[in-house]
Amino acid sequence: MTLTLPGLRAFVAVARTGSFSAAARQLDVRQPTVSESVRRLEAAAGRPLLVRNRERAELTDLGRRILAHAVAAVDAADELEGLLDGASRPFTVGFLGEAAAGRTRELLDLVQTHVAGDVRLRRYDFDDPSCGLLDGHCDLAIVWPPLDAPGLGMVTVSSDRRCVALPATDPLARRSEVAPAELGGRTWVVPRTGDVAYAGFRHPSAVGVAHVAGTVPSGSLEETLELVAAGRGCALASTSTDEHYARSNVVIVPLAGDVRCTVALAWRAADRRPAVRGVAEDAARLFGGTPPGSRRAAGDEGGTAWDGCTSSTWTGR
């Protein structure tokens, strides 16, 4: 099999933009050049990596599995070019809503010990719970597992108590905690996301709510809290939500039984750059996670990809 960097760049650009024409503009080449580069990569793979339709180009199952690896290869080449040119691109850490919580400063300090240049934070919403890792816009991410994201390694950095967000006028809002069995028959605000695993994690059935009267989609944590405040429904939250996104007309009530979720530092398992490896290994030691290299990343087949835990390691009870 013959792989070329232009082919990988074209594939990653199409995956990021969802369009061959947009990828061509991003790469500053003609669209036929992008199409031919992807065609050659698919020929080498022996199977389609993208499904073309009128609206956008979608990844196939194989395309999704190799995307993180392709991004890692392109990132490594870009970093090498930067070193040769005497310049380096910013190192970006993505995060989702309240996921960073109290660990943000510690994790950024840890990243800075391994990165000589700028370190930037980039916030994401429910449409990308991988926080830019799958499309290559971020180097590391602070996420809420589980994710339907093959090729990511993770190490748990903290856990958080799960709660329910209620309008301040709701009778249950005066309680110190609420049992999931008391929340049946309600309408719930849920994430608008294509990630099946993440959607399941944020659905009330994940904590034992037996009957859901209906759902209202939301694109972000802020929108979720606004919908709750407006009486459109209740929503799953966490103690960090209350600490970082307090609303005077929304009350965050813990769920009975110490129901918890985990916060994880995530990276592309195929990313062998020293800075990424060093941060992951140090995070595992600092926060007591599984040392990278002990298990294979979720979605990888074969090999010994280094990762802290699989993307199915979470607490959703």
Tens digits of residue pLDDT in 141-155? 999 999 988 788 999
Nearest to 167, CA basis, from 221, 232, 223, 219:
232
CB burial string 207-235: b at 16+ within 10 A, e below: bbbeebeeebebebbebbbbbbbeebbbb
- Of all helices (H) and strands (E), which one includes residue 196? helix 196-201
Own/partner pairs for 18-23, CB < 8 Å, 24+ apart?
18/56, 18/57, 18/58, 19/56, 19/57, 20/52, 20/57
pLDDT for 1 equals 59
- How far is 142 from 183, CA to CA, in rounded Å? 29
* pLDDT, mean over the chain: 83
pLDDT for 247 equals 82
Adjacent-strand bridge partners of 167: 250
Report field, pTM of the whole predicted structure over 0.75:
no
237, pLDDT greater than 50: yes
Nearest to 34, CA basis, from 26, 62, 136:
26
Percent of the chain having pLDDT more than 90? 42
pLDDT digits (tens, 9 = 90+) for 81-118: 766 665 667 889 999 876 656 677 888 889 999 988 88
Beta-strand runs (E) in 150-192: 152-167, 186-191
